Amino acid sequence: MTLKVCEPMPDAAYEAVVIETFEKKPLRTVLMIDDEFPTFSDLAAGESRDNAKRFRQKLLATAMYEGFKRSNMICDIENGIVADQSERLRKSDLVVLDYHLGPGENNSEQSIRLLRDLAHSKHFNTVVVYTNEPKLDDVWLEIISCIRGGWSRLPASLTDQPAAEWERLVEKELVPESHKEALMQFVARGRMGDIEPSIKSVLTGELEEREIATDILDIVLEALLHHQLGAIARDYSKLPSIGATGGFAGGVRWIQSQNAFIAILQKVDLPEDRSAPVDEKDPVGIMAGLRKALLAWQPNLVQILVSEIQNVLELDALATADGQLQKSDTQTALWYYLLQSLGTLDLERPPDVSAPIISIIDKVLDGIRQRLISDEELLRHASDALIGSLRETGWTSTDWPTPSKRLFEGARKLARADGLVDLQQTIFRLNTFFSTEDFARAHLTTGAIFRSVATDTYWVVSSPACDLEDRQPGAYQAWARSIDPLTAVVALRLERYPRVDRALKDATTGKYIFLEQSAGDQKAFKIVDDAGVPSYEFFFAHNRGRITRNGARKVFTANRLFVNEESPTGILSAEEFEIVQQLRDLNASRTLLVAGQHLSRIGVDFIKMPA
């Protein structure tokens, strides 16, 4: 059985979900930025000869403003960008941006810088780049090249023969001219395999004519593409690369990068015949063009689900809608919990009070989570997107891809990641996503994974979370109270397992923890040995296990017990440890079970037969 290719023929229900999720629900405010549009302040200042010359597109601005107003969207206009306005721009749901904002005529520097800022912002921004530039492919290529950045990595990192050949091409001025179609096909996903074979053949032919050896053709070609894209991206080529994908098929040009979706549209003139029929809500086709771009993007189910959750959070005010939190007795109860957790404070020198606040945030989030998973409209949207996406595959019940590798191929196509990820990378990501998360606590808790910076040894906390609370132990906990502010912590030592691929094949046994501290750095650790026995150790965390920062690292200090020749009775040695990640709730609870079973095991008298 062969897996059918996902054709770009979206299901009608899927299209409706995309428009609802990315256009109708989130786009409520619009900011138009064009140096030829008058602002409301300019209009209030009255007409003048200079204004008439500068604001040549006043009628277009008026028509667009009236159209957005009829669509019940709050609209504002700016004709320049200054530094203190950047936060205001990020808070606009839709930005309609002139491509040539300056400085100077036909200069796009200001617009490019703004687009990069919007991609990095915490708020998701939808942008329409609206331009008089007739060569829209050039506009698309410049924007995506500048946003992605990182092009200076090649040819700078070439070594050996490829490096020598590149130097020869440069010294003898033999570097081939750029091929726009190849650059566009490559930069869309950053993948050499996306370049059409006929175009790639032309490029490799040019390199062969320059006596580049066959076995290094692809290496030198990729360096050439980076070099040419770096020339387009200018100084942005030296900045760290960020994720960006795009498309240009059928004249629909779009770019998606982090928290920005960008559609690129040609400016159109208003019809001279004012009696001609026009869409009063969209007189120049801004929203129609944006809609085409969103559908061409084809966001996958996960992207739709995350955006729809964000829509629900913003539109339905889930946190403030909790009736319990509106009640005076609930608010008093939470204050009582805070005061009890804090104990006596010296307000002249207030301590870190993050821990009890995080506990309350956790309780609020539990309520939000319950309302999200019971939101009927959210579930309906996600279901429509799921079924619509599956219909694109053309699969039927008789040829459904049941073997796991075929299911992976299907998942990769449905995620629009064909050729971008492999099986091991995907299964590793699945295991890390389901089991670990970023550490976001103010103190140690069950399931916290930490390491010794000195020895690169890893452990996971397996003490009950209630024993690790940032508060003085009760009077009945005599020993714990006597050593306060030291906190006794039980941790399981993690044994590094070198074969990540083998660990993944055995992942369902629960013997392993999978970590990825940096991109591509896959690690597997055994939490128990082959007999199911853990290696546990006691630590004595300083300052009740509170987490502090050492530069970018989250750290804590704890005492460990050592025995050596100089101290045969043992010595406590203080050491700084770095927090790595946090096991999710169920996985963290399982470490309690592993440690508890071992520490409470019962030995019975059996003698095995000698070999």
Within-domain flag for 410: no
pLDDT at 330: 86
Mean pLDDT of 557-586: 90
Residue-wise pLDDT for 187-200, tens only, equals 999 999 999 999 99
pLDDT at 8: 45
Q: Count of CB atoms within 10 A of residue 356's CB?
A: 19
Q: Which of these three, 299, 318, 348, is where a domain ends?
A: 299
SS3 sequence of 474-532: CCCCHHHHHHCCCEEEEEEEEEEECCHHHHHHCHHHCCEEEEECCCCCEEEEECCCCCC
Judge contact between 584 and 567, C-beta under 8 A: no
Q: Based on the structure, what is the number of domains in the chain? A: 4
Within-domain flag for 573: yes
* In a shared domain, residues 190 and 78: no
Fill in the amino acid letter for 149. G
* In a shared domain, residues 505 and 589: yes
Within-domain flag for 5: no
- Two structure tokens written together for 252: 């629909």
* In a shared domain, residues 260 and 307: no
* In a shared domain, residues 462 and 553: yes
* In a shared domain, residues 145 and 171: no
* In a shared domain, residues 312 and 380: yes
Q: Count of CB atoms within 10 A of residue 359's CB?
A: 17
Between CA 179 and CA 202 the distance in angstroms is 9
* In a shared domain, residues 161 and 295: no
Q: Lowest mean pLDDT: which of 12-16, 224-228, 346-350? A: 346-350
Q: Nearest CA to 563 among 537, 591, 589, 535?
A: 537
- What is the CATH number for 101? 3.40.50.2300
pLDDT at 392: 84
Within-domain flag for 1: no
Within-domain flag for 48: yes
Q: Which of these three, 192, 208, 238, is where a domain ends?
A: 238
Q: Lowest mean pLDDT: which of 334-338, 403-407, 543-547? A: 403-407
Q: Nearest CA to 114 among 123, 127, 104?
A: 127
Between CA 469 and CA 497 the distance in angstroms is 32
Alpha carbon 534 to its chain's center: 35
pLDDT at 319: 63
Tell whether the model's pLDDT for residue 414 goes beyond 70: yes
Between CA 528 and CA 536 the distance in angstroms is 10
Residue 576 backbone dihedrals phi, psi, to 5 degrees: -90, 135
Between CA 12 and CA 388 the distance in angstroms is 7
Matching residue, tokens 């609870």: 589
Between CA 454 and CA 553 the distance in angstroms is 14
Residue-wise pLDDT for 14-50, tens only, equals 999 999 999 999 999 999 998 888 887 777 565 655 5
* In a shared domain, residues 140 and 122: yes
- Two structure tokens written together for 242: 């960020």
* In a shared domain, residues 260 and 139: yes
- By DSSP bridging, strand 487-497 and strand 536-541 are antiparallel
C-alpha distance from residue 378 to each of 306, 308, 444 (Å): 10, 7, 35
Tell whether the model's pLDDT for residue 268 goes beyond 90: no
* In a shared domain, residues 261 and 384: no
Which domain does 214 fall in, by range?
A: 153-238
Q: Nearest CA to 34 among 132, 137, 146, 135?
A: 132
Q: Nearest CA to 196 among 213, 212, 184, 209?
A: 184
Q: What is the pTM of this model?
A: 0.83
* In a shared domain, residues 445 and 527: yes
Q: Which of these three, 252, 283, 299, is where a domain ends?
A: 299
Within-domain flag for 611: no
Mean pLDDT across the chain? 88
Within-domain flag for 229: yes
Within-domain flag for 362: yes
Between CA 20 and CA 513 the distance in angstroms is 39
* In a shared domain, residues 453 and 593: yes
